[in-house]
Amino acid sequence: MRNLKLLLSLCVICLFFVSCANKKSLTRVSQYPNIYKEKPVSIVIMPPINKTNFVEVKEYFYASMYKVLAEKGYYVFSPYLAMDLFKSESAYDSELFIKGSLKPFRNIIGADLALFTIINKWEKQTLLNKITVNIEYIIRSTRTGEILFNRKGELTISEKSSSGISILDMAANILTTALTDKIIVARKCNNIVLQDLPEGKYGLNYEKDQNVSVGNKEINLKLN
Amino acid sequence: MKNLKLIIVICLISMGCISCMSSKSLYTWHNYEDASYVYTKKQTDKTLDKLIKEYKYIISHQKGIRKAVPPGIYAEYAYLLIKMNNKKEGIVMLKKEVGLYPESKMFVGRIIKQLEK
């Protein structure tokens, strides 16, 4: 019995060390080393690449990344101004730039980074009270064209039935559309996926966050 | 026993402080995200008015860690002012953006030059 206890204790200690070792290997500096080398200050959000059937999603989702990037400490070009420029300069289709040269954005806007997003899923299943978004985030250097950050997130939020009667919940949903909108889920997805991004010049932990642990490249989360 | 209680209280206070520190934002955004989203979805006088009020609030009520207006806000406010034919105030806001964030000079400075022609 004593031996068994000892064995169990050893197992727990080993598991603890293994988990620590794994966490240690995945840090911001190990995953995104060139962000620390390049020290980018500013970022421009490119119009999203929309792979869903909802045409309007591109415009609705676009500005939702602004706040999270600014809170990360970057200078973010105003989405309204940038979008106006993209439309007037026929740069509205990011498909044309996602693999091409980004020098124009460096020379015309002065951006160090360009954030591309690919919206793969943007769904609301009303009967199941379920919203799912699937978005890929790619940050490229406008200086070298290199991909400095690439993560993908699928987030599903299910609203638990509060009354137990789904028709009543549906009616309540219609009344509170603004709050239960897909954009709320998309914003959460932005926050979760972009939280691993090293902090920018205005962040409190700028150049001090190299050893912060990061998550997997692909995230699949289901929240209630 | 008394010492144990003291340790627990200190731990709780420390945890509270850490959680407060990490949750504080760099900037105050008020209801900007919702106002901007609603305006993008439906551009009416009412939604525009709400968004303009948000810019004014954000500019005058910064309680975030940096105590500064977030990047892009002056420029965005200017963009709407210019769309509303208030070019003069728009240029003032654009200049504030460049003053606060020199990184914006290449882009915003070019807009200022075009407007001042």
Nearest CB neighbour to A60, from listed B34, B41, B79:
B41
Cβ-Cβ contacts under 8 Å between A and B: the total is 78
CB within 8 Å: B26 and A77: no
Task: For chain A, say whether B106 makes contact (Cβ under 8 Å).
Answer: yes
Q: Report ipTM (2 d.p.).
A: 0.83
pTM of the full structure? 0.83
Query: Are A77 and B72 in contact (CB < 8 Å)?
Result: yes
How would you classify the pairing of strands A130-141 and A147-158?
Answer: antiparallel
How high is the mean pLDDT in each 10-residue block of chain B (117 residues)?
Answer: 61 49 82 95 95 97 96 98 96 98 97 93
CB contact under 8 A, A63 and B37: yes
According to the model, what pLDDT value does residue B23 have?
60
Cα separation of the two ends of chain B: 77
| A187 reaches B (C-beta below 8 A) | yes
Collapse the DSSP code of A3 into the 3-class scheme (helix H, G, I; strand E, B; otherwise coil) and give the result.
Answer: helix
Q: Provide, as residue numbers in chain A, all residues whose Cβ is less than 8 Å from the Cβ of B76.
A: 78-81
Domain boundaries, chain B: 26-116
- Cβ of A73 within 8 Å of Cβ of B70? The answer is no
Q: Can you give A58-105 as a three-state secondary structure string?
A: HHHHHHHHHHHHHHCCCEECCHHHHHHHHHHCCCCCHHHCCCCCCHHH
Query: Which residues of chain A register pLDDT less than 70?
Result: 1-24, 160-180
CB < 8 Å to B27, chain A = 70-71
Structure confidence by residue, pLDDT tens digits, A91-124 = 899 999 999 999 999 999 999 999 999 999 999 8
pLDDT for res A163: 45
Measured distance CA(A214)–CA(A123) in Å, rounded:
28
Residue whose entry in the numeric block shows the structure tokens 């709050």? A179
According to the model, what pLDDT value does residue A223 have? 87
Report chain B residues whose CB lies below 8 A from the CB of A60.
Answer: 37, 40-41
C-alpha A137/C-alpha B48 separation (Å) is: 30
Nearest to B26 among A63, A71, A81 (CB): A71
* Pick among 1.10.20, 1.25.40, 1.10.8, 3.20.14: CATH of B26-116: 1.25.40
**Is residue A70 within 8 angstroms of chain B, CB to CB?**
yes
The residue of chain A nearest to residue B32, with distances taken between CA atoms, is A67
CA separation for the pair A161, A16 (Å, rounded)? 38
pLDDT of residue A127: 83
What pLDDT is stored for residue A156 in this prediction?
94
What local confidence, expressed as pLDDT, does residue A25 receive?
73
